[in-house]
Chain A
Amino acid sequence: MKAFLTGILGAVTVAALSTSALAETRLTIATVNNGDMVRMQGMTEDFTKANPDITLEWVTLEENVLRQKVTTDIATKGGQFDVLTIGTYEVPIWAKKGWLVPLDGLGADYDVDDLLPAIRGGLSLEGKLYAAPFYGESSMVMYRTDLMEKAGLKMPDAPSWEFIADAAKKMTDKASETYGVCLRGKAGWGENMAFLTATSNSFGARWFDESWKPQFDQPEWKNTLTFYLNLLKDAGPPGASSNGFNENLALFNSGKCGMWIDATVAASFVTNPKDSKVADKVGFALAPDNGLGKRGNWLWAWSLAVPAGSQKAEAAQKFVAWATSKHYIDLVAAKEGWANVPPGTRTSLYKNPEYLKAAPFAQMTLSSINSADPTKPTVKPVPYVGVQFVAIPEFQGIGTMVGQIFSAALAGEKSADDALAEAQSATTREMTKAGYIK
């Protein structure tokens, strides 16, 4: 016991010494624990060498915890963070509130015009950029070339939902635990609803009409949901209703899925032989459509922003500029290879032959990102922006609630009609409470 206490005292002393304040500018950076961000932490020496007066303190958290903490902090002006990692969902809402510093100090060689237009549009308000994209993603079809061949089919570059449904059925072989298609089913606004909302766009559906009336009682939503439920019932894996991105990734990598429609960043995971059993048998295609002019793919960019009112805004912008620059991409390429650079933010990257050679999925990623338009996401007009979400503060709650209802329908707890009716009344209730519906 004595040794134990001495140990604690030792630890206390070490901790006390190591946190004694330095006279430099110390930036606290809140970031999500995805691979590209983690890699960035390993690169910081390059930044601190050029800026010896700045030290970096990383707070790396899983997405949901990060979002909670960062939102609580910025809304109460807690001032805990100097650089925030946020997504295309938060940026338009927060910029409107005046919570973010417009990024006009990124430096002369930053080349804002090099940013992909779709991504830049999602991060700007009234022409001003409020967050700089660190990596961008859309969604696309990843499929097993060997199974596709076995089924006697050929995947077109831009498949229709009909083709997907047909192929999924043909690829399914439940005896050998091969399931034609893996899709998100786990409840959450960023989980199953990201997929379903994007898919509904291609079915001509929308969340709200121009006067914010929920649209789950319309035939377009019914088509979307029935199609999704039937597809997974016929050709999906068991337990689909609790599968999110990671669960499906694990299934796909262990060879259990014929197709998987999900984030473009997954391409680098499924083709990495260290993590994937099927690395050399993966093909890519655009997210499916129904011939209505919209495809079922989304748009997301993890981006760096500086909270308004920060005392260290200048240093923070310096960091943001470094992390999202061309120079950073070159740095990662030099140290870890072109396949590992953060994708989906800059036009120049997709013109770089070395990158195109190292990343066979690059062209498909670019076309997917370019085909998503957050400002006009749906076939019919809508009062909101956002492809796989609705950029209003209430959406996290509403989206998760509807996600739970649809997930229950997928688990077989309720019929598609009941689920839609429930979604309609729950959404109407929340929107009334929030004051959108008078």
Chain B
Amino acid sequence: MARAVSVRRRTIATAAAWLIGFLIFFPILWTIITSFKTELEAFSTPPKFLFFEWTTENYGIVQERSNYLRFVSNSLILSIGSTLVALLFAIPAAWAMAFAPAKRTKDLLMWMLSTKMMPPVGALIPVYLIFRDMGLLDSRGGLIAVLFLMNLPIIVWMLYTYFKEIPGEILEAARMDGASLWKELVYVLAPMAVPGIASTLLLNVILAWNEAFWTLNLTTSAAAPLTAFIASYSSPEGLFWAKLSAASTMAIAPILVLGWFAQKQLVRGLTFGAVK
């Protein structure tokens, strides 16, 4: 691997990548820095980058005002719960589409994706009425159902593209050996499918985490996730930049940490059939 050109090339590539990475990351970094300023410093010009009196008072205020733990645990329950339920439905479906495709499989997939195209606002009132009549308003169960249905098409599709890469011959061979369908699934398919399932899971947890329309409109308090937490800090009468930055930092921290630990997994699994 060590080639003559590589040192210079590596230096340039590294410098360029760090610069671009830093620029892309900067808005987030700036939010984090702002969360440690006072409200007056938050919008001062010229802007203060590092040399100001760092304070954690914003975090104190946020902590005192809101039950952060409840919002976070709701976010975790909703995003992970809905993704797990969706996987439960999607794994068999994607398996069947990949290994026993019917004539209409492609159309079916496209139809599934097209259900995601309705602007949610247009369906708010019908869904709200249904939720009211079923007693699902402000319940985690109801929201898990909605988020599950929102993400199901993408999950089926991702798994489908992933499963298709698994060579059918292996399954044939297993079948020849007399493996039952269950064994085929658990011992042959599952190990090969784990990276794909993992990255599907991660991507959908992120999508569900950031979903801000249904989670905001169908909850009040008991089931309210971080999107509602943010809504209680944005745009009050008065200055709010530093406090909102603190709340934002608290809202994105868990998912950033998750992303940090899972990025390898995420990158490995998002192949969408590119590996052939």
Query: Which residues of A line the B interface, CB within 8 A?
Result: 1, 4, 8, 11-12, 14-15, 18-19, 28, 30, 32-35, 38, 41-42, 57-65, 68-69, 72, 76-81, 245-246, 249-250, 253-254, 263, 265-266, 269, 274-277
Contact = CB atoms under 8 A, between A and B. Distances in A.
Interface stretch (B9-17, B19-27, B66-74): B66-74
Contacts of B235: 33, 62-64, 246
Contacts of B38: 274
A63 B72 CA distance: 23
B45 interface: yes
A38 B241 CA distance: 16
Interface string B201-238: 00000000000000011001110100010011111111
Given A32-B236, A78-B128, A14 B69 contact: yes
Nearest to B66: A60
A59 B220 contact: yes
A69 B65 contact: no
- Greatest chain A CB density within 10 A among B65, B124, B220 is at B220
5 contacts: A15-B77, A38-B236, A60-B66, A69-B216, A254-B45
B44 interface: yes
Nearest to B80: A8
Contacts of B137: 78, 80
Given A15-B77, A33-B234, 8 more contacts: A19-B222, A28-B220, A32-B236, A34-B238, A57-B221, A58-B221, A60-B232, A72-B124
B148 to A, nearest CB: 17
Contacts of A253: 40, 239
B69 A11 contact: yes
Given A11-B72, A28-B220, A78-B137, A269 B43 contact: no
Given A12-B73, A14-B69, A246 B238 contact: yes
Contacts, number: 117
A123 to B, nearest CB: 19
Query: When A and B form their complex, which 3 residue pairs have the shortest distance between CB atoms, in order from nearest?
Result: A11-B73, A60-B232, A33-B236
A38 B65 contact: yes
Given A28-B220, A76-B128, A246 B240 contact: yes
B211 to A, nearest CB: 15
A238 to B, nearest CB: 13
B125 interface: yes
Contacts of A78: 128, 132, 137
